[in-house]
Amino acid sequence: MVDFRDELVVLRTFPNRFEAEVAKSALDAAEIETLINADDFGGTQPGLWPGRGVDLLVREEDAARANDVLSAR
């Protein structure tokens, strides 16, 4: 589980939660832990912040490998 004391970085910002979840699934399969950050009340209010996007966060030390995983899809 990602520890909030770890240095987290935004790997990518997606236009919606669905695309962020698809990327998260790919990283989970590669055993890279992630967090999704969105101001949408846990997905129940997807239109709440339509212009901001949905951030996919990883540990700083996992960012390069996570980018490689997402770029290969």
Identify the band that residue 49 occupies on the pLDDT scale cut at 50, 70 and 90: low
Evaluate if residue 44 carries a pLDDT over 60: no
Identify the band that residue 39 occupies on the pLDDT scale cut at 50, 70 and 90: confident
pLDDT digits over 9-33, tens only?
A: 999 999 888 999 999 999 999 999 9
Look at residue 53 in the predicted model and tell me its pLDDT: 85
Residues contacting 34, CB < 8 A, separation 6+: 2, 11, 24, 27, 28, 56, 57, 58, 66
Identify the band that residue 46 occupies on the pLDDT scale cut at 50, 70 and 90: low
User: Was domain 8-71 assigned CATH 1.10.3470?
Assistant: no
Give the highest mean pLDDT range of 4-8, 9-13, 47-51.
Answer: 9-13
Q: Taking the domains of the chain in order of start, what are their residue ranges? A: 8-71
